Amino acid sequence: MAKTVLMQGNEACVEGALAAGMRFYAGYPITPSTEIAEVSALRLPQVGGKFIQMEDEIASIACAIGASVSGVKSMTATSGPGFSLKQENLGYACLAEIPLVVVDVQRSGPSTGLPTSPSQGDVMMAKWGTHGDHPMIAIAPSSVKECYELAIRCFNLSEKYRTPVLFLMDEIIGHLREGIEIPDKVEIVNRPTVVNPHPKRPAYAPTDDLIPAMAPFGKGQRYNITGLLHDESGFPTNDTEIAGALVTRLMKKIDNNYDDIVQVEETLMDDAKVAVFCFGGTARAAKSAVETARAKGIKCGMFRPITIWPFAEKELAKAMKGVKKIIVAEHNYGQLVNEVRRVVGPEKRIEFIGKVDGTVITPDEILAKIEEA
Amino acid sequence: MAKMEIRLAGSGGQGIILATVILAEAAIIAGKHTAQSQSYGPEARGGACKAEVIVSDTEIGFTKVQTPTFLMALTQKSLDKYSKNLPKDCLVLIDEGLSVPQNLDGYKVIKLPILSTAAEKVGRLMTANIVAVAAINGLLKLVDDESLKTAVFMHIPKGTEALNEKALNEGFKLIENGGNQ
């Protein structure tokens, strides 16, 4: 292990992306994600990669998609308003099965909102922002260390499953500076590829794992990429059987690999009667609150989904079995709390802490709910 | 060392955020745990700006300052805004040009000529944040002076080392000479 260095969350995200093999970044800067563009602009040329600032957020994701199709690991980063703009092309990448990492450092909304204030209001947009049924993987870090490690995981999952992955950061973690040890070696996954493909090979012919191998565009095989539902050759079709099979395959390639994709952190949950459910930056307040509650003799734990989508329903249901009261804390008006309700059922007591004023949920606020009779 | 929760306030452009980054960097160099964050409006210059750094011997959960152990303010506006509801044992450092608001009655408030030292003795007002980090370290004994100097040199433009070293030394002197309490 190398020595500990001081790093900002946004910066660690870029370093993790580079370690994972990112060699192309296209973006349009926006607070609080701007440092991701700045550090990418500085670091990519040092490792033989390319950085481009586009005219807007739509062009940025389009550019990153194009680069990825050519075989280069690509990323774009933004915040809420820009994330809204990227939704159309995000759906395109889902359907065309193009590996890509999209970072959203969430800030207060709606619209341009409070540009410099924290929020976790894009959770449901991450899942449903682009139209139609589509698979989605979203991951949320709660430390600078995780910004690094999970950025790598985003790339690895994206490559493995040929699908865009959302890195759902927030202002609290993106702008936080703390110590981090950069590991000497990390595990890297590369997309399934075909070497010297036959010119007439069906570009979207799936293998047993439902993930077609990807020929880098321009190398040995011409194929069609479209946002229309398509057959295995990649060309559009109105055949209902093929259409249904394609959308089903896209959903299943993620559903079938739930156990590989979903990660959670459980702290002091074994004997917990009270549980705090939180994610991303909010987990830092929750952990402090849980420690204080434990010191006061309250059997309290924390459940944190690291993977936000797919939702960690198996783990959550199991962890909450013996729990009498769940406190859900998130920086929004109530988004993931509805997923928690769906999983634990209508009988279980849920207390909600939400904030939409741009301030941060504090350990004291969570502790007060823990102690409430 | 007990956990130190440090809040610095000033006007956007005074280098308040950088001052906390330098303190955080120095803490890492000295082998401590740290968390640094900031709160600011959309404007790049002017406005009240707040930056925070926590320094601790143990791992840090919540990353924001909850119960400040130390507050420094360089402008009246930021002092008035960020000095409310401080714990009684919070140490307050302000520039000597500022007046102490009523809500700080009964608090230990130290006045030091940070801005004038930067402007006159160092010769550049923009070094006020470096004068400040030296004074803060002198007061709080967060890290050894050498770690602080290394941290400062990591975060300044090349060619400004002599100027910033002078600012550091003038800041140390402010504490060695006692400061007006």
- Residues of chain B with Cβ-Cβ distance to A284 below 8 Å are 61-63
Q: What is the DSSP letter of B179?
A: -
Disruptive mutation site among B50, B64, B143 for chain A (greatest number of A CBs within 10 Å) = B64
A146-167 residue pLDDT tens: 999 999 999 999 999 999 999 9
Tell me which residue in A179, A281, A287 faces B28 most closely, judged by beta carbons: A179
Q: Is residue A191 part of a domain?
A: no
Inform me whether the pLDDT recorded for A221 exceeds 70: yes
> Which residue from A minimizes the CA distance to B43?
A116
Whether residue A358 lies within 8 A of chain B, CB to CB, comes out as no
Supply angle C-alpha A126, A129, A134, rounded to 5: 85
Checking if the pLDDT of B74 tops 50, the result is: yes
Confidence at residue B181, expressed as pLDDT on a 0 to 100 scale: 44
Q: How close is the nearest chain B Cα to the Cα of A179, in Å? A: 7
CA dist., res. A327 & res. A347, Å (int): 14
Contact (CB<8Å) B36/A178: yes
pLDDT band for A53, please (50, 70, 90 cuts).
Answer: very high
Tokens of A12: 């660690």
A75, part of any domain: yes
| Site of tokens 């400061």 | B179
Q: What angle do CA A57, B49, A123 make, to 5 degrees?
A: 40
In this predicted model, which residue has the larger pLDDT, A168 or B45? A168
Closest by CA to A104, choosing from A179, A6, A32, is: A32
> Which of A169, A178, A300 best probes binding to B when mutated, by most B CB atoms within 10 angstroms?
A178
Q: Tokens in use for A72?
A: 């280069």
Domain that holds residue A77: 4-181
- Under an 8 A CB cutoff, do A363 and B63 touch? no
**Last residue in a domain, options A157, A181, A205:** A181
**What average pLDDT score do residues A89-107 get?**
98
| Contact between chains at B64 and A116 (C-beta distance less than 8 A) | no
Residue A341 sits in a domain whose CATH number is 3.40.50.920
Model confidence band, residue B44 (pLDDT cutoffs 50, 70, 90): low
Reduced to 3 states (helix: H, G, I; strand: E, B; else coil), residue A274 is strand
The minimum CA-CA distance between A336 and chain B, rounded to whole Å, is 21
CB of A359 less than 8 A from some CB of B: no
Domain count, chain A: 2
The CATH number covering residue A160 comes to 3.40.50.970
Q: Where are the beta strands (DSSP E) in A262-322?
A: 264-267, 274-277, 300-305, 307-309
What local confidence, expressed as pLDDT, does residue A333 receive? 98
Q: Which residue of A has its CA nearest to B54?
A: A178
Examine residue A256 and state whether it is found in any structural domain, yes or no: no
Q: How far does B181 lie from chain A, in Å, by closest CA?
A: 33
* pTM listed for this prediction: 0.96
Q: Within the 250-289 window of chain A, which residues sit less than 8 Å (CB to CB) from chain B?
A: 281, 284-285, 287-288
CA distance B114 to chain A (A): 26
**In this complex, is the C-beta atom of A357 within 8 Å of any C-beta atom belonging to chain B?**
no
Q: Is residue A11 part of a domain?
A: yes
Give, in order, the Cα–Cα distances in Å from A316 to each of A85, A275, A298, B106: 32, 11, 21, 50
Q: Quote the minimal CA–CA distance from B61 to chain A in Å.
A: 5
Q: Which segment of A80-84, A188-192, B46-50 scores lowest on mean pLDDT?
A: B46-50
The Cα–Cα gap between B139 and B174 comes to 10
Whose CA is closest to A318, among A279, A286, A350, A344? A344
Average pLDDT, chain A: 96
User: Left if phi > 0, otherwise alpha if psi is -120 to 50, otherwise beta: which for A361?
Assistant: beta
- Residue A305 banded pLDDT, cuts 50, 70, 90: very high
pLDDT tens, position by position, B130-149: 999 999 999 999 999 999 99
**Between 3.40.50.10800, 3.40.47.10, 1.10.1660.10, 3.40.920.10, what CATH number should domain B4-176 receive?**
3.40.920.10
Residue extents of the structural domains in chain B: 4-176
**SS3 per-residue string spanning B60-90:** CCCCCCCCCCEEEECCHHHHHHHCCCCCCCC
The whole-angstrom separation of Cα A30 and Cα A328 is 29
**CB neighbourhood size of B49 (10 A):** 27
Mutation target vs A (from B3, B55, B62; most A CBs, 10 A cutoff) = B62
Interchain pair B63, A287: CB under 8 A: no
Query: Rg of chain A over CA atoms, in angstroms?
Result: 21
> Is residue A129 a part of any domain in this protein?
yes
The ipTM value here is 0.94
B34/A172 CB distance under 8 A: no
CA nearest B44 in A: which residue? A116
Residues of A whose CB is below 8 A from B21? 6, 177
The pLDDT, as a whole number, for residue B19 is: 98
- The pLDDT score that the predictor gives to residue B42 is 64
Chain B nearest CA to A204, separation (Å): 46
Any domain includes A347: yes
Is A237's Cβ below 8 Å from some Cβ in B? no
Q: Which residues of B touch A (CB under 8 A)?
A: 21, 24-25, 28, 33-42, 60-64, 66
- Higher pLDDT: A139 or A200? It is A139
Q: pLDDT band at B12, cuts 50/70/90?
A: confident
Residue A217 in any domain: the answer is: no
Q: Which residues of B131-165 are buried (b: 16+ CB within 10 A; e: fewer)?
A: bbbbbbbbbbebbeeebbbbbbbeebeeeeeebbb
Residue A79 has pLDDT above 50, yes or no: yes
Distances (CA, A) of A350 to A4, A353, A354: 39, 10, 13
Out of A129, A153, A181, a domain closes at A181
Q: Give yes or no for a contact between B19 and B70, defined as CB atoms under 8 angstroms apart.
A: no
Q: What number of other Cβ atoms are within 10 A of residue A204's Cβ? A: 22
Paired residues of B54 in beta bridges: B5, B35
- Residue A170 domain flag: yes
> Are the C-beta atoms of residues A53 and A36 closer than 8 Å to each other?
no
* Model confidence at A252: pLDDT above 80: yes
By Cβ distance, the residue of B21, B40, B66 closest to A363 is B66
Mean pLDDT along residues B25-41: 93
| Alpha-carbon gap: B37 to the closest alpha carbon of chain A (Å) | 5
The domain boundary residue, chosen from A156, A181, A206: A181
Instruction: Tell me if B35 and A178 make a contact (CB, 8 A cut-off).
Output: yes
The first and second tokens of residue B130, run together, are 């470096």
A188 touches chain B (CB under 8 A): no
Give tens-digit pLDDT for A164-213.
Answer: 999 999 999 999 999 999 999 999 999 999 888 888 889 998 788 999 99
Q: Any chain B CB within 8 A of the CB of A360?
A: yes
Give B78-123 pLDDT, tens digit per residue. Answer: 999 999 999 999 999 999 999 999 999 999 999 999 999 999 999 9
| Structure confidence by residue, pLDDT tens digits, B145-159 | 999 999 999 999 999
- A313 in contact with B at a CB cutoff of 8 Å? no
